[in-house]
């Protein structure tokens, strides 16, 4: 299909935006999924300076690139996370962290996500990809015992904090694509159903499909596409390799760093892991997904300057699979 292939700039935010544009264009990407950190896209400046967005678009055009989505995972994480601690301070802009008071951080993050919708509209894109945070992820181990009322309260808090944000998304004509991911309010099939129910399945809230977070949880990324066909608002291609089974390497990976071969799984460059990519692309075709295919490159064991162009070639071949105009067995029919 003719879906554009983009490069997510989140893992490239240590480089200037201009340099990432140059690299992506040289490799043959169609555009970027632009991260709202580094100098790639600054939400506050986009709203305060009328020339800021124009300059970003000029830079993209200079390299014959386009943009269909921006991503604000880092700020979105703080909207309803518990606890708020030094991990958040490390990823948030100083103006969002402020004094570090947890509730002040959550409120500032919520206002920034509203502004992200406004900035996206100003840029001319209709999708913001990101995280939501979770008031109850810290209970996932289920000990000390977690009462059902605590889980219910977590989903209610998520809805209370995100519905006002989604109201602004509706006003701006922009959709939020939540990345289903451990540490978020929706991290697998059942929690995704529960999350959609918590917000009344409103249209402003959909999903960013990223299979890398599914395969190490033993989830079926193909079935996920089919189950949530009407909610797949954006696609990120990232891969994961599972290495459990030797009696030592477990799913929780023992607090070991990325690329440590003692881990039970690791993120790897697209095409080098366990995602059933061809079936996934056939499923995307079957639901009629025609949005961007964004390569989120993460592999602590491979140089990104080698991995990003290789991943593009791999994905472009899969993206070329086109459903036939007629059934292959039509020639055997009487009419």
Contacts of 177 (CB under 8 A, 6+ apart): 69, 127, 128, 129, 130, 206, 207, 208, 233, 234
Counting as low any pLDDT under 70, the low residues of the chain are: 1, 326, 328-331, 333-335
**pLDDT, tens digit, 9 for 90 and up, residues 152-190:** 999 999 999 999 999 999 999 999 999 999 999 999 999
What's this model's pTM, rounded to 2 decimal places?
0.96
Predicted confidence at residue 334, as pLDDT, reads 58
Predicted confidence at residue 80, as pLDDT, reads 98
Phi then psi dihedrals of residue 50, to 5 deg: -65, -20
CA 15/CA 308 separation, integer angstroms:
15
What value does the mean pLDDT of the chain take? Answer: 96
DSSP assignment letter at 177: E
**pLDDT, tens digit, 9 for 90 and up, residues 244-260:** 989 999 999 999 999 99
CA 189/CA 129 separation, integer angstroms:
19
Predicted confidence at residue 324, as pLDDT, reads 78
Cα-based distances in Å from 300 to 157, 186, 254, 260, 291: 35, 26, 17, 9, 28
Predicted confidence at residue 199, as pLDDT, reads 98
- Decide if domain 5-332 falls under CATH 3.20.20.150: yes
């Amino acid at each position: 299909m003719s879906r554009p292939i983009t490069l997510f700039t989140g893992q490239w935010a240590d480089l200037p935006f201009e340099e990432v544009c140059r690299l992506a264009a040289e490799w043959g990407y169609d555009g970027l999924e632009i991260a709202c950190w580094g100098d790639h896209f600054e939400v506050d400046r986009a709203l305060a300076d009328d020339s800021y967005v124009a300059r970003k678009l000029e830079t993209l055009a200079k390299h014959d690139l386009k943009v269909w989505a921006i991503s604000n995972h880092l700020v979105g994480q703080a909207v309803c996370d518990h606890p708020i601690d030094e991990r958040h301070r490390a990823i948030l802009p100083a103006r969002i962290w402020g004094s570090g008071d947890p509730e002040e951080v959550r409120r500032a993050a919520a206002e920034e996500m509203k502004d992200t919708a406004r900035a996206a509209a100003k840029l001319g894109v209709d999708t913001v990809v990101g995280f939501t945070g979770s008031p109850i992820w810290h209970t996932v181990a289920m000990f000390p015992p977690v009462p059902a009322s605590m889980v219910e309260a977590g989903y209610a808090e998520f809805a209370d904090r995100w519905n006002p944000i989604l109201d602004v998304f509706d006003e701006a004509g922009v959709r939020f694509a939540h990345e289903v991911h451990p540490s978020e309010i929706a991290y697998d099939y059942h929690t995704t159903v529960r999350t959609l129910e918590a917000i009344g399945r409103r249209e402003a809230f959909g999903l960013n499909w990223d299979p890398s977070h599914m395969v190490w949880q033993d989830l079926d990324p193909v079935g996920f596409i089919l189950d949530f066909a009407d909610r797949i608002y954006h696609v990120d291609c990232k891969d994961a390799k599972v290495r459990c089974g030797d009696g030592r390497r477990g799913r929780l990976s023992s607090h070991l760093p990325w690329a440590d071969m003692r881990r039970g799984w690791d993120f790897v460059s697209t095409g080098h892991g366990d995602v059933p990519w061809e079936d996934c692309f056939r499923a995307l075709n079957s639901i009629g997904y025609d949005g961007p295919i964004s390569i989120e490159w993460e592999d602590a064991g491979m140089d990104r300057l080698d991995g990003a162009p290789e991943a593009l070639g791999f994905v472009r071949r899969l993206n070329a699979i086109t459903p036939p105009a007629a059934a292959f067995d039509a020639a055997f029919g009487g009419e």
